[in-house]
Amino acid sequence: MNIKYPNGQSYQVNVDKVQAKKQVKTKKTTYSNRGMTLENDLNVTNEQYLAKGLAVIHKKPIPIQVVNVNYPKRSAAKITEAYYQKASTTDYNGVYKGFYLDFEAKETKNKTSFPLKNFHEHQILHMKACCDQKAICFILLRFSSLNRVFVLPFEKLNWWWNQQSEEKGKKSIPLKQIELEGIEINYGFSPRLPYLDAVDQMIQSNIS
Amino acid sequence: MNIKYPNGQSYQVNVDKVQAKKQVKTKKTTYSNRGMTLENDLNVTNEQYLAKGLAVIHKKPIPIQVVNVNYPKRSAAKITEAYYQKASTTDYNGVYKGFYLDFEAKETKNKTSFPLKNFHEHQILHMKACCDQKAICFILLRFSSLNRVFVLPFEKLNWWWNQQSEEKGKKSIPLKQIELEGIEINYGFSPRLPYLDAVDQMIQSNIS
């Protein structure tokens, strides 16, 4: 049988190549490219929310200290020496129905728990200060190997953060607990990651 | 009479120098170093508000696209090629008593009006979108030659912004109008620029 590609080209089986491929140790499906997907998905989602007039949420730029800039003629200013600075806040904030939202988004390749080392003291302190001002603070967690995403309210994260220093304190949050304490987000088309549904639940449970 | 400095050294009058100085044309007091003071004053003020647990407000980092980074051994990553990106929001946002605040801060050397060219379309659109989400949006204006600072609510700025395109539209907001439509902020020690007092007035007038 003459197999053809959709573009009309004939499909030529190259026996040598097929055998060579078979000798390659069968690899498990890799998810190595998924490291940036949560950030991309959130950027798309935030644009969709903005376009629909539902919320104004942006990722903050990475703080960079500029030391040297060249101004070549007829072209854009070129920064030739700069250094990354330590952030003092979380990555995302914005406004939704009069509420100030503040959150951090992280991914793990782990399948059974989310390591707390993904978070930093300054992020915890920042979210605590925001919560004291009646902000809605949470973390967005993605298990990249499972492709599952959760919203976990800050007060839950804070509990897990604090127990780390206790005797027999865990260094990660078990997925089973995240399933109980968090709100799972299912991927959609528009919005791609409808995390405001989880925020609505957080608002309702705070009010009622 | 033998005049001495506080450290005990004798004061030697150098007649040549004195005469040379007299020949220099007497300059008016300059305010050329004041360009950065509003940003500095706001950074100090925001730190003071944060330390007192009154509000969590930060200046957003300038967005920069990093193209090349060197990782020298035993020292910090050095960015060797990067470019400024166009901002899509205002410079400041944060949370105060459950309210989302969003504002832009600008200075002018003008003495009688504030030029509207200090603002950009994307800032206006961003503040409009935030206001639709019940945010509190405003601009902080400093007349550097007069050392006077005002908070002007976004809805007032928006009116002035829109009239620009009309026939005989003004390209700047007269100080007299800013005195009427805005709220003046007086410098203090802590907070240095108590702009939340103006925000309180904005909240009260919206609610009542």
Side-by-side strand order, sheet with B183-185: B56-59, B92-96, B99-108, B136-143, B148-153, B183-185
B76, A84 contact by CB (below 8 A): yes
Does position A196 have pLDDT exceeding 80, yes or no? yes
* Confidence band for B33, pLDDT divided at 50, 70 and 90: very low
Structure tokens at A200: 């609505």
ipTM of the prediction: 0.81
* Per-residue pLDDT reduced to its tens digit, B155-189: 999 999 999 999 999 999 999 999 999 999 999 99
The domain defined by B32-61+88-207 folds into: Trna Endonuclease; Chain: A, domain 1 (3.40.1350)
Dist CA B21 CA B9 (whole Å): 22
Report field, pTM of the whole predicted structure over 0.90: no
> Cα-atom radius of gyration of chain A, to the nearest Å?
23
Mutate to test the interface with B, among A68, A133, A206 (most CBs of B within 10 A): A133
B16 pLDDT more than 70: no
* pLDDT tens-digit readout, B76-104: 899 999 999 998 999 999 999 999 999 99
What's the mean pLDDT in B111-128? 97
User: Residues with Cβ < 8 Å from A111, sequence gap 6 or more?
Assistant: A143, A145, A146, A175
In this prediction, residue B5 carries a pLDDT of: 58
Min Cα separation A62/chain B (Å): 7
Place of tokens 């089986």: A13
Task: Give the pLDDT of residue B107.
Answer: 96
**What's the pLDDT tens digit per position in A34-59?**
446 899 999 999 999 999 999 999 99
Write out pLDDT tens, residues A128-139.
999 999 999 999
Are residues B133 and A89, on separate chains, in Cβ contact within 8 Å? no
Domain boundaries, chain B: 32-61+88-207
Q: Is the pLDDT of residue B14 over 90?
A: no
What does the pLDDT read at residue A65? 95
Name residue A83's beta-bridge partners. A65, B78
For domain A36-207, give the CATH number.
3.40.1350.10
What's residue A73's pLDDT? 85
pLDDT recorded at residue B76: 87
For residue B31, pLDDT beyond 50: no
Residue B34 pLDDT: 45
CA distance B186 to B41: 12
pLDDT for A74-100, tens place per residue?
A: 888 999 999 999 989 999 999 999 999
Percent above pLDDT 70 for chain A: 82
Q: What residues have CB less than 8 Å from A13, skipping those under 6 apart? A: none
Does A13 score more than 80 pLDDT?
no
Q: Could you tell me the end-to-end alpha-carbon distance of chain A, in angstroms, rounded to an integer?
A: 67
Which structure tokens are listed for B61? 């980092």
Cα–Cα distance for residue pair B14/B48, rounded to 1 Å: 46
Residue B43 CA to chain centroid, in angstroms? 10
Please report the DSSP string for B44-72 in residue order.
Answer: HHHHHHHHTTS-EEEEPPPPEEEEEEE--
Considering CB atoms only, which of A62, A81, A97 is closest to B80? A81
For chain A positions 48-77, those within 8 Å of chain B (CB to CB) are 50, 53, 55-56, 58, 60-64, 66, 76-77
- Residue B187 C-alpha, separation from nearest chain A C-alpha, in angstroms: 25
- A163 by Cβ neighbours in 10 Å (0-12 / 13-18 / 19+) ranks as middle
